[in-house]
Structure 1
Amino acid sequence: MKTFRKVIFWMHLISGATAGVVIFIMCVTGALLSFERQIIEFSERDSRTVVTGSGSAAITPQAVLEKVREARPDAKPSGISKTNEPNSAWAVNLGREGQVYVDPGSGAILGEGNKSIRNVMSEFRNWHRYVALSGDNRPVGKAITGAANLLFLFLAISGIYIWFPRNFQWSAVKQVIWFRRGLQGKARNFNWHNTIGFWCSTFLIVFTLTAVVMSYQWASNLLYTITGNEVPQQQGEGRNAPAAEKPYEYPVDINTAWTAAEQTPGWQSISLRLPIEKDAAVFTIDEGIYWNIFGRSTLTSDMNGGVTKWEPYGDQNSGRQLRSWFRFTHTGESFGIIGQIIGFIACVGGAFLVWTGFSLALRRFKNWRTSKVAA
């Protein structure tokens, strides 16, 4: 048992030394991204909402697109959405170019959101996912963060094993479950490393495990396999050659199809994917009735308002639902603001684990070199 513990310890140390810098980057950026949605919503509050009754009549979704087209002739909208609140603005997504908010009454352009905040968050996300690599180097960055995350998962699991005192008595346990005052140097770093690890490891395992599913296709496919569902075909599979890029086409009239989507009882938000292909309007609808607050149903309609397919979130296969849970559990958002706070604390804790771990490892290496020279 002593030998096994020693092997695990050295694997833990080597893994941390190998991936520590990347893990530190992911933890810091993860903490900075923890409240991204709330920060953006707050910074754009004046564009996203209007004074009730600012317009004499509700503008149609097709008219919204036309207003955006007039203001941004070269833009290629990738989606249009609206929440079921009278004072909420229409949001038209322009892909990488941002978004435009439109007054639901007058049709006036309210703004394009807070580009500065969005750019900062995008840069944090780029570091978090790709260690700031871009273009053709992004796959390399993704491979680096994916591998570092796997090692982080091992560090969290092995750390729990190493944390357990050899003599599991309260006198030993209390030394490594809370911060002790008056410690300096190695003793302080040891206490912090063990205490933070004790309180954060379980959450870090959850966050790193969900990240594995997001980083690797085999892990994502595994969710479908273990739930007994068919693995969905990836976009582009089964095609001999990529299709030629088609010129962007604005829809002629989405009003009737949108009205069909609004017939969904109790809808909270509706989003339409653009451009529309094969006269099939695909809507994503938040019904607000599922435990997963990010559970979305899908409605497909022809341009005459005839519903050709209705797929409630509750009827989706368990693999797809589980994938959705993993996606938003990784950010903590599945459990609302409490989950986001836990995610923030865990990320900050992870960064301190790297710092204290490096400090302990460097001190160990220094002592080893000193003893070797003395010998």
Structure 2
Amino acid sequence: MTLPEEISVPENPTAPPPPRRSWRPLLMRLHFYAGILVAPFIVVAAVTGGLYAMAPTIERLAYGDLLRVEPSGRPVPLADQAAAARNAYPHLAMTGMRPSAETGESTRIYFADPALDEEFRRAVFVDPYTARVLGDEPTWLGYLPVSTFLDGLHRHLQLGEPGRIYSEVAASWLWVVALGGLCLWLFRRGRVVTVARGLKGRARTLNWHGATGVWLLAGLLFLSATGITWSTYAGAHVSDIRTALNWQRPTMDPAPTSTATVDPADIDYDAVVHAAAGAGVQLPVEVALAPEAGAGVTVTEQDKPYRLTTNAATVDPATGSVTSTLDYWRDYSVVAMLADWGIRAHMGLLFGLLNQLVLLGIAVALVAVIVGGYRMWWLRRPTRGSAWAVGRAPLRGGLRTLSPWAAGALVVTAVALGWFLPLFGIPLAAFVIVDLGIAAIKRGKAGTDA
């Protein structure tokens, strides 16, 4: 018997079909391990970040007796306010001031205090209407103690430079977890931004986990990117790139002024602030006294809601003339502007209370998403056997499901990202090594049992 010519017989009918090419197994395993092992760092960053985002509001509540005063007539000259502070603290050298910018706000007079760390200054608060000294607090870059504490808690858990590792791990992995989760969610080909009704148990948790993650995606990517710019190791690479491309934040080069040293008591601060305003530097501002003779007085715009600029000017205190300026729209590159706005938005300063509430909402929702992920892991645990059993990890072999070109490109990309983001690369390498080690042990045990 013969077969018709048009019917072909496979050479090996028992050969298995070629493997189906898919990114899903690899993404599933990466998302799982990142969620289990890196998520605790992200949770801590979210909690401390949510608190830090509300720091400006908390600061106004905690220091209301120093920051707010009862308006009564016209403010007294800034020189008189500075004199009152110097008389109250005669043993300290005045370094600058932050004049009252709105009705009912106090004036800050800054002093160098040997009892404080080098980066700190003592701020003396003065009633601008009576020149009465209200009190003092140590400040760091203008931040009062509550904000300083919350900033340190978010950046390094109050552990100093070693503690910054945790926040860099969180920032370096957050975008990976978020984008990986998005891909896995889209692979399902179901609802993307809404939760299906009628689901229960793990399926319902998965729907909430995925849909909420999609809504958070833009915010998480933004926080990851801006957080990386502040980090120790990846941040250094970002700074190198910005410097090489001239994208760094510009600085003002003060022109020489009078060669004589001007005593802080002889400066007309109102005239200095008025001259700077004529050059585009508007309240609220900070006035910094010249550290040496002939350097001039620097006036710099401070953060306020919906302000995009940070203009600055140098004023000759002897003549009241502006000697140099830093114009935001003229001197900042587009990348420098975007970086500046991103950092201020990350801190909850760019859009005021709305900015703070959005960041707090993202932090709370992110914690809920991570808790949901852990709950799904718990629901996958075996129902029989040890009470300490946990859910199994997705199967190994995800890399083998990719084409050789895709696998090679993935490895090269991972190495490049690991170099640029060291605290992404090092944990990823550790995951791979540990995973391969566990696989080898299991294979050896299986061979022994056989």
With the shorter chain as reference, the TM-score category is 0.7 to 0.9
CA shift in 2, pair 1:62/1:206, >3 Å: same
User: How big is the shift at 1:312?
Assistant: 1.9
How far 1:292 sits from its partner (Å)? Answer: 5.7
Find the counterpart in structure 2 of residue 251 from structure 1.
Answer: 264
Q: 1:113-133 deviations in whole A, cap 9, x for unaligned?
A: 799x95444333222100231
Partner residue of 1:146 out of 127, 148, 168: 168
Query: Is 1:64 aligned to 2:112, yes or no?
Result: no
Report the residue type matching 2:135 in the other structure: G
Q: 1:224 to 1:160 in 2, by over 3 A?
A: farther
Give the Cα separation in 1 of the matches to 2:92 and 2:209.
Answer: 51
Asked if residue 173 in structure 1 is aligned to residue 191 in structure 2, the reply is yes
Q: Pairwise CA RMSD of aligned residues?
A: 3.6
SS in 1 for 2:99: strand
Partner of 2:156 in structure 1? 130
Distance 1:61 1:275 in 2: 17
Between the aligned partners of 1:114 and 1:133, the Cα distance in structure 2 is 20
How many pairs align? Answer: 342
CA offsets per residue over residues 320-342 of structure 1, 9 Å max, x none?
32221121121344344333222
Q: Secondary structure at the match of 1:346?
A: helix
Q: Which amino acid aligns with 1:251?
A: P
Corresponding residue for residue 300 of structure 1 = 314
Name the structure 1 match of 2:287: 272
Q: Distance in 2 between matches of 1:123 and 1:89?
A: 22
Q: Which one of 165, 181, 185 corresponds to residue 163 of structure 1?
A: 185
- Please say if 1:314 is aligned against 2:293: no
Distance (Å, rounded) in 2 between the aligned partners of 1:201 and 1:76: 49
**Maintained 8 Å contact 1:90/1:104:** yes
Match of 1:29 in 2: 48
Q: What are the equivalent positions in structure 2 for 1:186-335 lying under 5 Å apart?
A: 186-215=202-231, 216-223=235-242, 229=246, 231=248, 251-255=264-268, 256-264=271-279, 267-274=282-289, 276-279=291-294, 280-285=296-301, 293-304=307-318, 305-318=320-333, 319-335=335-351
Pick aligned residue for 1:52 from 71, 74, 82: 71
Unpaired stretches in structure 2, ≥5 consecutive residues? 1-19, 112-118, 252-261, 382-388, 394-441, 443-448
Which of 96, 101, 114 does residue 120 from structure 2 map onto?
A: 96
CA contact (8 A) 1:229 1:317 kept: no
Mark the CA change 1:301 to 1:179 in structure 2 (over 3 Å): closer, same or farther: farther
Alignment correspondent of 1:8: 27
Superposition deviation, residue 4 in structure 1: 1.4
User: 1:368 and 1:312, CA in 2 relative to 1: closer, same or farther beyond 3 A?
Assistant: closer
- The answer (yes or no) to whether the contact 1:61–1:258 under 8 Å persists in 2 is no
Q: Show CA shifts across 1:277-320 (max 9, x none).
A: 343211103699xx961411110112212211022222122143
Could you say what secondary structure the match of 2:307 adopts? coil
After the TM superposition, which of the residue ranges 269-278 and 17-26 deviates more from structure 2?
269-278
Cα distance, 1:34 vs. partner?
2.1
The one-letter code of the counterpart of 2:291 is: I
Cα distance change, pair 105–341 in 1 and its aligned pair in 2 (3 A): closer
Aligned: 1:358 with 2:374: yes
Correspondence 1:18 to 2:18: no
The one-letter code matched in structure 1 to 2:266 is D
Structure 1 residues 131 and 199 mapped into 2: Cα distance closer, same or farther (>3 Å)?
same
Say which one has the larger Rg.
2
- 1:145 counterpart letter in structure 2: S
SS at structure 1 position matched to 2:128:
coil
Aligned equivalent of 2:99, options 73, 82, 102: 82
Could you tell me how far apart the structure 1 residues matched to 2:137 and 2:131 are? Answer: 16
Q: Does 1:38 align with 2:60?
A: no
The AA in structure 2 aligned to 1:127 is L
Q: CA deviation at 1:173?
A: 0.9
Greater alpha carbon shift after TM alignment, 297-306 vs 333-342: 333-342
Per mean C-alpha deviation after superposition, the further-off stretch among 25-34 and 291-300 is 291-300
Structure 2: distance between partners of 1:358 and 1:340: 27
Provide, for residues 249-292 of structure 1, a one-character-per-residue CA deviation record: whole Å limited to 9, x for no partner: 9734331534422445683322112453343211103699xx96
Q: Alignment partner of 2:129: what SS? A: coil
Is the 2:24–2:187 Cα contact (8 Å) retained in structure 1? Answer: no
Q: Given the two structures, how large is their TM-score scaled by the length of structure 2?
A: 0.65
Aligned residue identity for 2:133: I
Question: 1:257 & 1:367 partners in 2: Cα distance?
Answer: 67
> Does structure 1 retain, via aligned residues, the 8 Å contact 2:94–2:264?
no
Distance 1:108 1:90 in 2: 10
Question: Residues 179, 125 of structure 1: CA spacing in aligned structure 2 closer, same or farther, 3 A cutoff?
Answer: farther
Aligned-partner Cα distance in 1 for 2:167–2:31: 18
Q: Aligned partners of 2:272 and 2:164: how far apart in 1?
A: 39
CA distance in 2, matches of 1:44, 1:209: 32
Partner of 1:109: 133
Quick one: which amino acid aligns to residue 323 of structure 1? A
Offset at 1:152? 1.0
Note the C-alpha offset of 1:104.
1.5
CA–CA distance in structure 2, aligned partners of residues 25 and 191 of structure 1: 24
Q: CA deviation at 1:74?
A: 4.6
C-alpha separation in 2, matches of 1:108 and 1:356 = 54
Gaps spanning 5+ residues in structure 1: where? 235-248
Cα distance between partner residues in 2 of 1:173 and 1:351 = 22
| Matched letter for residue 347 of structure 1 | A
Q: Shift of residue 146 of structure 1? A: 1.2
